[in-house]
Amino acid sequence: MYKINEIFYSLQGEGFHSGTPAVFVRFSGCNLRCHFCDTQHQDGTMMSLQEIVDEINKYPDASLLVLTGGEPSLFIDEAFVAELKQKTGKTIAIETNGTRPLPSNLDWVTLSPKTAFEGGDAAPCVVKRCNELKVVFLGQDLAQYDDIEAKSRFLQPCFCEDEKQCQANMKACVEAVKSHPVWRLSLQIHRVLNIP
């Protein structure tokens, strides 16, 4: 059984697949406690793999399935990914903080290390290869990510409730991308569009 926070169909709001329709499976629970985290770590419903598959298959139009959290790598293995692939026919992507080894049969890895932040530094990032590296930017030194192999690198402003602070984070992120052009800007378009 798996503790699932929610399963829903929306658009990927961030990074390489931004704007792409996707089904999201949000696992409940994380091994880190980043100070800016907006995930409800305790909420969730216990579901079997078949129940998860049945819920995903209510959305046959989406070809992309995103495992997110919380930290999904705490709960999944290769057998889980293989079963999802076979029973949904979708491309299986994961969003991970990189603190745990990943199943080798995932189709897409979005690595979002949190080691630079208070509460996110409780475990080292052990994943060093990914399809996309997506980093929340709060002014940290970007050289710390140089040893991570990634086809695309995205910097994302840290969202916060304070509008002025949010604008300042955005500006700092834009300037960081301009001075480090190997990175590209990623915005959380689901927040702009006010969709889940």
Could you give the residue numbers annotated as active site? 24, 30, 34, 37-39, 95, 190
Q: Which of residues 110-129 bind ligand SF4 (CB under 6 A)?
A: 114, 120
Q: Is there binding between residue 71 and ligand SF4 (CB under 6 A)?
A: yes
Q: Report the C-alpha gap between 8 and 56 in whole angstroms.
A: 8
56, 81 Cβ separation under 8 angstroms: no
27: Cβ contacts below 8 Å, ≥ 6 apart = 2, 3, 4, 5, 44, 67, 68, 69, 70, 71, 72, 74, 75
Residue 83 CA neighbour count, 13 Å, CB half: 13
Residue with tokens 């509008």: 163
Q: How far is the CB of 39 from ligand SF4 (least distance, A)?
A: 5
7, 74 Cβ separation under 8 angstroms: no
Q: Is there binding between residue 37 and ligand SF4 (CB under 6 A)?
A: yes
By CB under 6 A, which span of 69-77, 83-91, 125-133, 144-152 interacts with ligand SF4? Answer: 69-77
Q: Is there binding between residue 151 and ligand SF4 (CB under 6 A)?
A: no
154, 15 Cβ separation under 8 angstroms: yes
Q: How far is the CB of 44 from ligand SF4 (least distance, A)?
A: 13
Q: How far is the CB of 194 from ligand SF4 (least distance, A)?
A: 21
Which residue, 34 or 92, has its beta carbon nearer to ligand SF4?
34
Q: Is there binding between residue 67 and ligand SF4 (CB under 6 A)?
A: no
Q: Which of residues 5-34 bind ligand SF4 (CB under 6 A)?
A: 30, 32-34
Give helix then strand counts, H and E, for the chain: 4, 9
User: How many chain residues are in contact with ligand SF4, going by CB under 6 A?
Assistant: 12
Q: How far is the CB of 41 from ligand SF4 (least distance, A)?
A: 7
Residue 193: alpha-carbon gap to chain centroid: 19
Residues forming the site for ligand SF4 (CB under 6 A): 30, 32-34, 37, 39, 69-71, 97, 114, 120
